[in-house]
Structure 1
């Protein structure tokens, strides 16, 4: 099968296409013929070697943690999925490939296309995990830094569904986009504290930092301390006494299935920019640069 590999750590130049053997599913796994693979900021950090202490990666490796496609083989003990099912979930073996193995998958609703489906597993789980950590509730105001990206797009909508008011930061090009998701949009950067205070005179109840580009000090000023601030992207968190939330090992199939249904009916919307497998390096370059609107994905023929 065709797959994108990296044999050494570095920039996107280490990514290359290769022909490798089709993987065989082990106990509890399914093999998926990949239709779409998700691109995440974490992929670039793993590829660069920056995450070796946290996510040790044996080489060669296939990037990609999210997969959407058609089940074409079952491992021992798999009973709730059958060959031919259209699914989405988390890849065990990397998803930038024609085939991937997965343990946790859920049915893809018929009205949900492949690209929107693959935008959900990581971003949805991350958004829900952090909103739970923050305890965001109805009537509260939550500030989301970097709200126009994949995680932010879902976090804005999921927080609003809880009855919270959302203030989201983004660049000039994404102000209208955030408003369309239901957020009160504002620019990041100098003067942020004053802008947010003008929008929320009674203060913000919680802060979710998706951006990881320096807003933690402003967040402390807005909260009057470090309580109820969570970042998934700024490794200075512990130095400042702020909670850093990394990806958990637990993957909730029930939550993903519910989110997929909401996406299929339009209750939750996603924005996806897709690249073919041959342009995987370009997709990761765009991801590494940041300022992405919504989700990036890889599509396969």
Structure 2
């Protein structure tokens, strides 16, 4: 039986629960593809999941963590016409079920992937799916962002935030971002019209009357975003699960608030790839780690100071 190397999580807990193992190589079922993974993105949700704080009901132990992946189609299952062996792809399969990205191979439905844009190497393509789809779905599907609207992106230099700035700017919005002062130039380079340091001045004292808030931090910071909205404005939070009073606080202020969780989405991936092709979207990768150094990647991203994304180099590592 053909085998592969993978990082397997064997118990909930610290990085020491991530172990390199040798497993049987999976085979695609009908409608699935087998992908030889070249690179895998690392996201904060990977850390939350490892610690037992995220989507445990969708997972069992042991499992192979990770959802962001880019690689080459090795084989296709019966009925697949979108891809053929040798195609370069990127995707975010199965989320929030186990995606299996921290491995040399993975199988998943073909419609959890899209063709990798030639403008991106595998490392940068692996940085795009989860964060990019989160930004795209929040801005386009939920907020229905249009030209001339004012959007506040809380955490503009992070994985989702730095892509959301670019997407919102492409859509014609006036983009306001929060970031530490040392990251202001980065946010402006991406297209932010205004940037505020949330560590020095309460954002509600600097910004008012926005149409949409993309909230990526959670906790008290999430609640502090509500006063920045115009009446009837909409806050979309990727962290609302940790803020149970969000809905009542929003209603009391005459604004709207909703939670959001990203979903696998081939159409969204293709939209992101189209923006990459025309030069309107570029994922930023702060650092690349060999697969065996996944614990170091988790330690870095858990500090919540990463600019853009972290990526694991998988094949041959």
Q: Scaled by the length of structure 1, what TM-score is found?
A: 0.91
Deviation per residue, 1:163-191 (Å, 9 max, x gap)? 11111011122111001011121101352
Q: Distance in 1 between matches of 2:92 and 2:308?
A: 19
Structure 1: runs of 5+ lacking an equivalent = none
- Aligned pair 1:175/2:199, yes or no? no
- Aligned pair 1:138/2:147, yes or no? yes
Report what 1:90 is aligned to.
92
Report what 2:253 is aligned to.
none
Aligned CA distance change for structure 1 residues 72 and 182 (closer, same or farther; 3 Å): same
Aligned CA distance change for structure 1 residues 76 and 142 (closer, same or farther; 3 Å): same
SS of the equivalent of 1:27 reads coil
Report what 2:250 is aligned to.
none
Q: Distance in 2 between matches of 1:57 and 1:26?
A: 20
Report what 2:165 is aligned to.
156
How many residue pairs get aligned? The number is 294
**Displacement of 1:238 after TM fit?**
3.7
Report what 2:259 is aligned to.
244
Bigger mean CA offset, 224-233 vs 23-32: 224-233
1:1-301 mapped onto 2 (5 Å cutoff): 1-52=4-55, 55-92=57-94, 93-103=99-109, 104-132=112-140, 133-183=142-192, 184-189=194-199, 191-193=201-203, 196-197=206-207, 203-223=209-229, 227-241=233-247, 242-248=257-263, 251-272=264-285, 273-300=287-314, 301=316
Q: Distance in 2 between matches of 1:151 and 1:59?
A: 28
SS of the equivalent of 2:157 reads coil
Q: Contact conserved, 1:32 with 1:100, CA < 8 A, in 2?
A: yes
**Displacement of 1:60 after TM fit?**
0.6
SS of the equivalent of 1:214 reads helix
Q: Contact conserved, 2:218 with 2:242, CA < 8 A, in 1?
A: no
Q: Scaled by the length of structure 2, what TM-score is found?
A: 0.87
SS of the equivalent of 2:107 reads strand
Q: Contact conserved, 1:15 with 1:281, CA < 8 A, in 2?
A: yes
**Displacement of 1:56 after TM fit?**
2.6
**Displacement of 1:234 after TM fit?**
4.0
Q: Distance in 2 between matches of 1:263 and 1:192?
A: 34
Structure 2: runs of 5+ lacking an equivalent = 248-256
Q: Please report the RMSD computed on the Cα atoms of aligned residues, expressed in angstroms.
A: 1.9
**Displacement of 1:247 after TM fit?**
2.4
Deviation per residue, 1:92-133 (Å, 9 max, x gap)? 441101111121221112232111111221112111111132
Aligned CA distance change for structure 1 residues 24 and 196 (closer, same or farther; 3 Å): same
